[in-house]
Structure 1
Amino acid sequence: MNLKNKVAIVTGAGQGIGLEICKQLLTHGAMVVLNDIDTVLAEKTVISLQSSGKCTAVVGDSSDLAIIQKMVDIAVSTYGKLDIVIANAGITHFGDFLTYSAESFFKVMEVNLGGSFFLAQAAANQMKEQRSGGAIVFMSSVTAHQAHKNLSAYGMSKAALEMLAKNLVIELSPYKINVNTVAPGATLTERTLKEENYSETWQGLTPLGRAANVQDIAQAVLFLVSDNAKHITGQSLIVDGGWSSLSPSPYQN
């Protein structure tokens, strides 16, 4: 997976899966524009990655159209082009369907769908202009494939991203831009490890005997944006240790 001299944008990259994706990209020779909404986190992350390669931070809400365009502009002005986009940023608002608030619903859609849609649009226009192709990956979830308690809006948003990837095959294939999604299952991150017994619970529920780590997800993403996957587009790669084949629930009735 030689990504030398490729230029990538990664959103939601201050920690967790997004951060590991940046690390892997840099390790394989890419240059990275890293986005996070948290100013301190983004700046600290870029500093920590400087020894690994060329990395620049763009701080802001990944669903803000001005921030989206800024990311594309910074990639081009700093590194000369844009080859790869990974729309990793997303939010989760748990809630019972019968009492789920409009505020939570529209925020989930704004970030998970709007941010991904318009980042892909801005990036694709740049790639079209460059005439050298490119790769886009949306971050989906196993909840796009299997029902999960209190995640109706979130699962809906992730399923929509997978349909978006399929639709963009029609729109973007003429410009040699491939579009795919990665759908993680339970993954050990700073956020999930704050949940009580998270690792132990998913160890018992996952056929392969453990929850994913961030490296598992990042390596799947890197494959899809590499030249090894140039003939793969419109697909969703589930990385869940086999959980969605059986779908045992972590919730007790």
Structure 2
Amino acid sequence: MTFENKVAIVTGAGQGIGFEISKQLALQGAVVILNDIDTPLAQQAAEAITAANGRCIAMPGDSSDVAFIQQMVHTAVTEYGRLDIVIANAGITLFGNFFTYTPEAFNRVMQVNLGGTFFLAQTAANQMKQQPQGGSILFTSSVTGHQAHKDLAAYGMSKAALEMLAKNLVIELSAHKITVNTIAPGATLTERTLDDPSYERTWSELTPMGRPAHTQDIANAALFLVSDHARHITGQSLIIDGGWTSISPSPF
């Protein structure tokens, strides 16, 4: 795969899966606009990719804010002339018991996970449909959109909805040569999950392949789905979980 001279936006990319996707895109030739709501984290991530000889600029901001979404797409087009790839990776997880889950928590999860993704896809697609080559859009779902997880009713609901959104957008986008797919990662070793000292051991025991994913496992799948090799794949969701959803043992 090569992404030479492609222009990409990746949200929620200051660390973890989003950062690895951004890095691999940049190292394979893309110009990456890297977004994170944490300004220092976004800048550090972009600097790290640039230091590794990738082309990357930071655009810190709230990826669920429609005005900011429009600014990201405008920057891509004015600075680089086009927008080829959009990866809506930003999302938040707010655990909570169903019986006491607050409207504030529910609305924030939906605003970021669904609203941010929906309007980024909308804004990007309005640009991509003006381009002869179209483009590729990718959403980040989760295995919790396929299997129930304790205290994640709202989060799992939002992730399942993203997969339906990708299917529905096939109707809208295919005529414009725009693909739209979803990845659904399972347990993955990131800076956040490694804060839990038992995380790797627990998920190594629960995962049929004997370990949780590394961020590069997820990035490899993401890059394939936004590459020219996948131009005839759209409306699909790819689960990347080492087989966990096939047997679904609970960590609780």
Fold equivalence (TM over 0.5) = yes
SS in 1 for 2:217: helix
Shift of 1:54: 1.5
Instruction: Write the distance in 2 (CA, Å) between the matches of 1:41 and 1:147.
Output: 31
How many angstroms apart in 2 are the aligned matches of 1:23 and 1:44?
Answer: 12
Paired with 1:47 and 1:249, the residues of 2 have a C-alpha distance of 38
Q: Does 1:71 align with 2:100?
A: no
| The 10-residue stretch of structure 1 (179-188 or 128-137) with the greater mean CA deviation from structure 2 | 128-137
1:135-214 equivalence runs, <5 A? 135-214=136-215
Tell me the CA shift for residue 240 of structure 1: 0.0
The 2-side partners of 1:178 and 1:135 are apart by 5
Question: Which residue does the alignment assign to 2:34?
Answer: 34
Please give the alpha-carbon distance, in whole angstroms, between the structure 2 residues aligned to 1:127 and 1:12. 21
The one-letter code sitting in structure 2 at the alignment partner of 1:170 is I
Deviates more, 1:67-76 or 1:47-56: 47-56
Correspondence for 2:50: 50
The amino acid of 2:207's aligned partner reads T
**Matches of 1:4 and 1:183, distance apart in 2:** 26
Shift in Å, 1:80? 1.2
Structure 2 counterpart of 1:54, one-letter code: R
Distance in 1, Cα, partners of 2:129 & 2:115 = 21
SS at match of 1:129: coil
Distance 2:29 2:174 in 1: 25
Matches within 5 A, 1:39-118: 39-51=39-51, 52-118=53-119
Structure 1 counterpart of 2:19? 19
Post-superposition offset of 1:2: 1.1
Q: Which one is further off, 161-170 or 44-53?
A: 44-53
Q: Deviation per CA, 1:20-72, whole angstroms, max 9, x where unpaired?
A: 00110011111100101111111111111113222111110000011101110
Q: Distance in 2 between matches of 1:28 and 1:54?
A: 10
- Kindly state the Cα deviation for residue 229 of structure 1 after the two structures are TM-superposed: 0.5
Q: Percent identity?
A: 69
After the TM superposition, list the runs of 4 or more consecutive aligned residues in structure 1 that deviate by more than 6 angstroms: none
* Equivalence for 1:225: 226
Pick which of 235-244 and 66-75 moved more.
66-75
TM-score normalized by structure 1? 0.98
Q: Using the alignment, how far apart are the partners of 1:235 and 1:141 within structure 2? A: 13
Whole-angstrom CA distance in 1 between matches of 2:182 and 2:132? 23
- Residue ranges of structure 1 left out of the alignment (5+ in a row): none
- The one-letter code sitting in structure 2 at the alignment partner of 1:32 is V
| Secondary structure of the corresponding residue to residue 35 of structure 2 | strand
In structure 1, the residue corresponding to 2:74 is in which secondary structure?
Answer: helix
Residue 124 of structure 2 is aligned to residue 123 of structure 1 = yes
Instruction: Map residues 1-20 of structure 1 onto 2, 5 A cutoff.
Output: 1-20=1-20
TM-score, L = length of structure 2: 0.98
Letter in 1 for 2:125: A
